[in-house]
Structures are given as structure tokens and as C-alpha cells.
């Protein structure tokens, strides 16, 4: 049977339509978590679903501090002062930030710098209800804190897989900038694994260009599925305001800190008991080892794990557990990943001779600068 050109044309487009319809039906019924063509087609211009999913778990935090008044309230006439009986003993200084409900039992994670030293902490939920909060535990080394409110069955966020974060992924920052109320900003992941920034002792930041301003600290960084990627922490700025470079603490690090604080009231990290300096060309030339990478030990804590393992001042640590050591931050991070009682293998050089020893980690003392 011979078909006309117009008939073949119409049949061809009909077949295309049937195939397209079948694909749409297939993708529309795809299981949760898999790519959904209809969703991508209809919602590529909006992140409202992601925000609606994550926003209820983000709270606003106001911390209050009492301090003695220092300024004269009559600057034009220094002779004028408060009468003795009316002179206020303290003034109240508020500090604003954000937080994320990390457990339905009333646990909220935020930044250490948002609540540390506060005399009173007030939490405002997404629905407007306000509650007084108590500090459960602080970890200044990671700039994280856990606070609690007396309320159960709270909304919690979905947790993203930290291993699947990619540079270029779209992200949303949810928080309370300048105390104006919950706000959402959008950007991309600019970098991962940022350390040596000089903000915290332990650093492994997600860098983003999503706008983060004062008050955003402690809020959520989420992906376009509404899953939390990290806790917004800081901006790279001399003024303190947004300049296009912001940092968030990855959620896997956050959860480790939170779980330890809930269980122990503190974060327990390994400790070696040494101080060192990064090797530079001048130091390497002095020791006659121009091609060595590692850390020069400058101090060893008395009766600490390093001294018990035979580490001496002047040693160069080159490897911990077979992992190369580039600088002092590598030593700090390698040791902190362990727990008290863990045994680590240390390789190094002493007087141009290689050595290997084993140390049993202790518990990192509070406010100790030694690794």
C-alpha cells in the first residue's frame, strides 16, 4: 500500500507524540529520589518546594548579654550624669543569629559565637512561637553549639549526603540576617574542603556565594531538594557584611559534634601533646633536607602521649598512619580524628635518620594549643 507524503508525515509525528507521552508517564511515576522529568520541567524556575521543606526547621536566635554601661549618655555636657539612684547597673546587649532544629526532642544546633557567654537565649520558631533556650554544650574549636528548648515533636530537616556535594551545585541559605526575619538567598557551591581560612581550629568549609550576613550565622545551607548540607558560619569580609564569599560547616562534621555534645556534654578529640611549625625553605636548608615535607616539632608536652612515644624537640613528623603531613593543620586534623586510647603510627626524621614510633592518644585538654 502506497502512502502519500502527507500521510507519512502525520503518522511520523503521531509516533513521536506517543513516545513523548510514554516517557512523561514513566518519569512522572519515578520513585522518590530519582530524577522526575515533570518536576524538573515545571519547577526549574522555583525553589519554593525546597524552602517549604527546610524552612520550618530553621529558627531565629536572640542572645542577651549583661554588661556595665560605659558611655556617658550626655556627650554634649560631660558634667551631666545619671543621679546615683538612677544609674543603671547593667545594659542589655542583644546578639542575633539563627539555628537549625537537629532533633525533634528540642535540640538546636547553632554557631558557638552566636550563644557563647549569653545570660539569656530566646528562640523564635518558624511559626512565630518564642521559647527560652539553655546551652547544652559548646565547641569553640569548630564554632558549633547545641542549645535546647522545652518542646517536643519539632520539625527536623532532611540530611544531605555530604559525599555527593559538587562544586557548581545550587544552594539556598536560610536564616535571619540583621534580625529582619527568616530570609532565603541563593547561590552555588564555590568550593569544598576549604581549610586554612583562619576562622576555626578545625576547618573543612563549604564555600558558597549565597548571601550570608550578620544574623545568618547558625542557619541552614540546603540543596534544591530541601536537604541540609551545612550550617552557615561566616563570611570572608573585613566589614563583616557579604562580599560574595561565605562559609558553611559541612553537615557530617556538624552531626559528629552534635552527637558528642548530646552524649557527653562536650566534644572529645584525640590529643598528641606537641607544638610544631611548618617547614619552609630556610628551615629545610638549615637541617640539610631540602626535599622533605612535614612539621618541625618545637615543643613536647610533659608526660603527654608524644613524650611517652619518644617524640623529641627537633624531630620532623612526615606521616601519621601512613598519611603524608604537609603542615601543622594536617597534624591537628589527623590527631583530632582519633579518640583517646587510639593508637597511631608516626613516621619522621631525627638528625637526618628515619624513625617510626607509635603513640596512644590522650584526650585533648580544653583551650590547649598543643596538638
- For the question of residue 42 being annotated catalytic, the response is no
Q: Return the HEC string of the chain.
A: CCCCHHHHHHHHHHHHHHHHHHHHHHHHCCCCCCCCHHHHHHHCCCCHHHHHHHHHHEEEEEEEEEECCCCCCCCCCCCCCCCCCCCCCCEEEEEEEEEEEEECCCEEEECHHHHCCCCEEEEECCCCCEEEEEEEEEECCCCEEEEECCCCCCCCCEECCHHHCCCCCEEEEEECHHHCCCEEEEEEEEEEEECCCCCCCCCCEEEECCCCCCCCCCCEEEECCCEEEEEEEEECCCCCCCCCCEEEEEHHHHHHHHHHHHHHCCCCCEECCEEEEECCHHHHHHHCCCCCCCEEEEEECCCCHHHHCCCCCCCEEEEECCEECCCHHHHHHHHHCCCCCCEEEEEEEECCEEEEEEEECEECCCCCCCC
Instruction: Give me the catalytic one of 142, 217, 334, 347.
Output: 217
Instruction: Give me the catalytic one of 57, 60, 139, 143.
Output: 143
- For the question of residue 113 being annotated catalytic, the response is yes
- Are the C-beta atoms of residues 140 and 112 closer than 8 Å to each other? yes
Instruction: Give me the catalytic one of 112, 113, 334, 347.
Output: 113
Q: Which of 203, 202, 186 is nearest to 194 (CA)?
A: 203
Backbone angles phi, psi at 189, to 5 degrees: -80, 120
Annotated catalytic residues are 113, 143, 217
Amino acid at each position: 500500500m502506497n502512502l502519500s507524503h502527507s500521510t507519512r508525515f502525520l503518522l511520523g509525528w503521531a509516533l513521536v507524540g506517543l513516545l513523548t507521552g510514554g516517557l512523561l508517564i514513566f518519569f512522572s511515576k519515578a520513585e522518590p529520589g530519582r530524577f522526575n522529568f515533570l518536576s524538573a520541567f515545571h519547577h526549574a524556575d522555583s525553589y519554593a518546594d525546597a524552602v517549604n521543606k527546610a524552612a520550618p526547621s530553621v529558627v531565629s536566635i536572640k542572645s542577651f548579654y549583661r554588661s556595665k554601661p560605659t558611655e556617658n549618655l550626655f556627650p554634649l555636657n560631660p558634667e551631666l550624669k545619671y543621679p546615683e539612684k538612677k544609674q543603671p547597673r547593667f545594659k542589655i546587649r542583644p546578639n542575633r543569629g539563627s539555628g537549625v532544629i537537629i532533633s525533634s526532642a528540642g535540640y538546636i544546633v547553632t554557631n558557638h559565637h552566636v550563644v557563647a557567654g549569653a545570660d539569656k537565649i530566646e528562640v523564635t520558631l518558624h511559626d512565630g512561637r518564642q521559647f527560652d533556650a539553655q546551652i547544652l554544650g559548646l565547641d569553640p574549636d569548630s564554632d558549633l553549639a547545641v542549645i535546647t528548648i522545652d518542646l517536643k515533636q519539632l520539625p527536623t530537616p532532611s540530611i544531605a549526603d555530604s559525599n555527593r556535594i559538587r562544586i557548581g551545585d545550587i544552594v539556598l541559605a536560610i536564616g535571619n540576617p540583621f534580625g529582619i526575619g527568616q530570609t532565603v538567598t541563593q547561590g552555588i557551591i564555590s568550593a569544598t574542603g576549604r581549610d586554612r581560612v583562619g576562622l576555626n581550629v578545625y576547618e573543612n568549609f563549604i564555600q558558597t556565594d549565597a548571601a550570608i550576613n550578620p544574623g545568618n550565622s547558625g542557619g541552614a545551607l540546603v540543596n534544591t531538594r530541601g536537604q541540609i548540607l551545612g550550617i552557615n558560619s561566616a563570611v570572608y569580609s573585613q566589614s563583616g557584611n557579604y562580599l560574595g564569599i561565605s562559609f558553611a560547616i559541612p553537615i557530617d562534621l556538624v552531626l559528629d559534634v552534635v552527637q558528642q555534645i548530646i552524649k557527653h556534654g562536650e566534644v572529645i578529640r584525640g590529643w598528641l601533646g606537641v607544638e610544631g611549625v611548618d617547614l619552609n625553605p630556610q628551615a629545610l636548608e638549615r637541617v640539610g633536607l631540602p626535599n622533605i615535607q612535614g612539621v618541625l616539632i618545637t615543643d613536647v608536652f610533659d608526660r603527654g602521649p608524644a613524650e611517652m612515644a619518644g617524640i623529641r624537640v627537633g624531630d620532623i613528623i612526615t606521616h601519621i598512619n601512613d598519611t603524608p603531613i604537609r603542615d601543622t593543620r594536617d597534624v591537628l586534623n589527623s590527631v583530632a580524628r582519633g579518640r583517646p586510647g587510639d593508637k597511631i603510627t608516626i613516621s619522621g626524621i631525627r638528625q637526618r635518620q628515619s624513625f617510626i614510633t607509635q603513640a596512644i592518644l590522650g584526650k585533648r585538654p580544653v583551650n590547649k594549643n598543643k596538638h
